């Protein structure tokens, strides 16, 4: 049912813009069109498949649960039964976690690194940001999928940029040139802008994943209670780039960040 909420127009606009540009690239005399005319179907099929995959990934990230906190029991169960034997050994049983915070909006206990999203009206685990283009939050459950979507989207828009440029033709006058290339110039502008934006987001989120932090923590460190006591360069959740990336991409369960935080800040090894 979430498809028919406020994000319906945003998602519809995304799909229409994507396929409109794709149609323009196939109808004009671009590299893709010339490959079709020569009977070389592999490049057009690969490009179409990439665009289709990017749309599918967009809806996957846009419609999936980013890690909403559903109840107090859900929060307490995660902290006491996270199933990480290594952390259980490293942290004494009587280790006191930092006092939990009750959300001022939905009145639920917030696990560490969670934040209430005013747009979604729910608390989100390991909150990163609310993406207006997705009309959904990016959090613990869909952050890895968001980054993979950025990779596929960058491949699609950069390929589209190159394809649009290949179809631009010369004309004896500026007026004729604009008439001949008007739609391609529009596609060139949109794919060029999206290429830069997606590349920037991809680099930022790869960096954040490598140091195990979030956009919210990176931008609002001075306002976050569990980071105020740390040095300006200290990240209590950083366990090294390889381990951080492994947890980010390969660990699908909910993490008890209170345990990681206590281990690092108390120096228990």
What is the C-alpha separation between 71 and 107, in angstroms, rounded? Answer: 9
pLDDT on residue 219: 92
> Which residue in 218, 199, 198 sits closest to 208, CA to CA?
218
SS3 labels along 1-20 = CHHHCCCHHHHHHHHHHHHH
* Residue of 35, 93, 123, 131 marked catalytic: 131
Predicted confidence at residue 74, as pLDDT, reads 66
Mean pLDDT of the chain: 86
Question: What distance in Å separates the CA atoms of residue 118 and residue 61, rounded to the nearest whole number?
Answer: 19
Q: What is the pLDDT of residue 264?
A: 67
From the CB of residue 78, how many other CB atoms can be counted at a distance below 10 Å? 20
pLDDT score, position 253: 82
pLDDT of residue 142: 95
Contact present, 257 and 113 (Cβ < 8 Å): yes
Residue 137 among the catalytic residues? no
pTM for this prediction: 0.86
Start-to-end C-alpha separation, the chain: 47
At 12-41, the pLDDT tens digits run 999 999 999 999 999 999 999 999 999 999
| Ordered mean pLDDT values, 10 residues apiece, the chain (269 residues) | 64 93 94 92 96 96 93 65 42 48 86 92 94 93 96 97 93 85 93 97 97 94 85 86 94 84 63
């Amino acid at each position: 049912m979430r498809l028919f909420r406020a994000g319906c127009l945003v998602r519809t606009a995304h799909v229409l813009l994507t396929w409109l540009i794709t149609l323009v690239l196939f109808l004009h005399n671009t590299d893709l069109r010339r490959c079709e005319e020569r009977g070389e179907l592999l490049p057009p099929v690969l490009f179409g498949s990439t665009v289709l995959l990017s749309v599918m990934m967009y809806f996957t990230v846009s419609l999936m649960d980013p890690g909403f906190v559903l109840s107090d029991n859900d929060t307490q169960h995660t902290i006491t039964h996270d199933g990480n034997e290594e952390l259980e050994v490293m942290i004494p049983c009587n280790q006191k976690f930092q006092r939990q915070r009750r959300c001022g909006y939905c009145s639920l206990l917030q696990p560490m690194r969670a934040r209430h999203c005013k747009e979604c009206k729910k608390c989100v685990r390991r909150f990163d940001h609310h993406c207006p283009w997705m009309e959904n939050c990016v959090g613990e459950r869909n952050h890895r999928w968001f980054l993979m979507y950025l990779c596929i989207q960058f491949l699609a828009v950069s390929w589209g940029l190159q394809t649009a440029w290949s179809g631009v033709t010369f004309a004896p006058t500026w007026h004729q040139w604009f008439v001949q290339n008007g739609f391609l110039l529009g596609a060139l502008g949109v794919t060029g802008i999206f290429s830069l934006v997606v590349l920037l987001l991809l680099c930022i989120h790869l960096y954040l994943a490598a140091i195990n932090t979030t956009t919210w923590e990176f931008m609002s460190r001075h306002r976050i209670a569990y980071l105020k006591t740390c040095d300006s360069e200290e990240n209590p959740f950083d366990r090294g780039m390889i381990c951080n990336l492994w947890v980010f991409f390969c660990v699908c369960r909910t993490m008890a960040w209170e345990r990681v935080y206590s281990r690092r800040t108390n120096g228990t090894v």
